[in-house]
Amino acid sequence: MPHMTAFARNQWYVVAYSHEVGREELLGRTVLGEPLVLYRTEKEGTPVALHDRCVHRRYPLSASRLDGDRIVCGYHGFTYDTTGRCVSVPGQKRIPRTARVPSYPVVEQDSLVWVWIGDPELADPQTIPRARHLDSPGWVTVRGMEPIDADYGLLVDNLLDLSHETYLHGGYIGTPEVAATPITTEVDEAAGIVRVSRHMDDAECPPFYAKSTGIQGRITRWQDIEYHAPCLYLLHSRVAPVGVLPEADGSDPHGFHTEITYAITPSAPGKVYDFWAVSRDWATDDTEVTEFLRKSNHTVVMQDVDALNLLQKALSTEPAGYQELSINIDTGGLAARRILARLVEEGEKPGEKPEEKVR
């Protein structure tokens, strides 16, 4: 078995976008190896997450149907309420006391549905990192989700080192300056946050931004990454014509700010959900820009998906303990691995509260 990044339990993970969880269809997703079924209650519209296996013969509840707020198993009719308790079985009055499926703490915030995997007693919604731009007036977002057949650690590596844009995403978001410009890295170990910044003073404008913003000529381009381990990744992107800097008070009338969000959700060993979103507060009425960004970013994401599928296949044929060679560009990724290793360790201790996160 090649190296796989262990799962960090007692953490919040994005399981779905708000719009994916409804009442028409039960949504099945697997997070940290746990099969889940998601739906909304009829009156309040609150999202519910239950274990996706019926206690009777383990039929997936996600392939079943709703009766009000209850799931009726699609095989023999065991019926579960929103807490996972079985409230009806066919052909008899007595319901076995052990007839219940686990229910999971769920929080809906910033158009994301977060699920807590671990000891429910420890779930604290206050520790969920925010991505307000995904659900704020004045912002327009395009989004999607791609499953990848790769260790989630490979996606963390990928996103924390954007030098690959030059080689993997040339013609979309990559230009020579991305790989050529050194990064600065800041790590907040206690809070579990890694920041990686790359500020390009004079760079080619990649088609992704040239076509959407209308900027002609060279740009200053800033990429400021903020990774909240284990799941949420924010890339604050600024592009502006060369020489146009933000005002002394921090305002930036000539800069285009784009928030690029990823949620990295480990599904099963060697499988990860890649949630991606691009949000902007400029040209918000321009549907052509919206469709262009949707299409372009989907292409970029698929380039990563293909590369990671290929990389995982290659790694799977390597003997255990293979060597890597890291350089400066890997500083952020290596910091992220260290933090993930600590979160994994903390998640393995039963009944202990994970270290308070400072937000």
Interface with Fe ion (CB under 5 A): 304
Fill in the DSSP letter of residue 318: S
Stretch that binds ligand FES, among 8-16, 76-84, 263-271, 320-328 (CB under 6 A): 76-84
Q: Of 86 and 278, which has the nearer Cβ to ligand FES?
A: 86
Paired sense of beta strands 184-188 and 140-148, if any: unpaired
78 binds ligand FES (CB under 6 A): yes
The binder of ligand FES chosen from 75, 139, 172, 282 (CB under 6 A): 75
Nearest-angstrom CA–CA distance, 206 and 204: 6
Instruction: Kindly state the smallest distance separating residue 106's Cβ from ligand FES, in Å.
Output: 23
304 binds, among ligand FES, Fe ion, none (CB under 5 to 8 A by kind): Fe ion
178 binds ligand FES (CB under 6 A): no
Burial class (CB in 10 A: 0-12, 13-18, 19+), 173: buried
232 binds ligand FES (CB under 6 A): no
Phi and psi of 106, rounded to 5°?
Answer: -130, 140
Stretch that binds ligand FES, among 54-62, 97-105, 163-171, 227-235 (CB under 6 A): 54-62
Relative orientation angle of helices 287-316 and 152-160, to the nearest 10 degrees: 130
157 binds, among Fe ion, ligand FES, none (CB under 5 to 8 A by kind): none
The site for ligand FES, by CB under 6 A, has a size of 9
139 binds ligand FES (CB under 6 A): no
The closest alpha carbon to 81, from 92, 90, 93, 68, belongs to 68
Stretch that binds ligand FES, among 53-61, 200-208, 240-248, 348-356 (CB under 6 A): 53-61
Q: Which residues of 56-85 are buried (b: 16+ CB within 10 A; e: fewer)?
A: beebbbbebebeebbbbbbeeebbbbbebe
CA 283 to chain centroid: 26
Q: Of 26 and 329, which has the nearer Cβ to Fe ion?
A: 329
And the tokens for 243? 């020489």
| The residue count for the chain | 359
Instruction: Kindly state the smallest distance separating residue 220's Cβ from ligand FES, in Å.
Output: 59
Q: Are 71 and 51 in contact (CB under 8 A)?
A: no
63 binds ligand FES (CB under 6 A): no
Instruction: Kindly state the smallest distance separating residue 102's Cβ from ligand FES, in Å.
Output: 16
Relative orientation angle of helices 152-160 and 331-348, to the nearest 10 degrees: 140
Instruction: Kindly state the smallest distance separating residue 76's Cβ from ligand FES, in Å.
Output: 3
57 binds ligand FES (CB under 6 A): yes
Binding region for ligand FES (CB under 6 A): 54, 56-57, 59, 73, 75-78
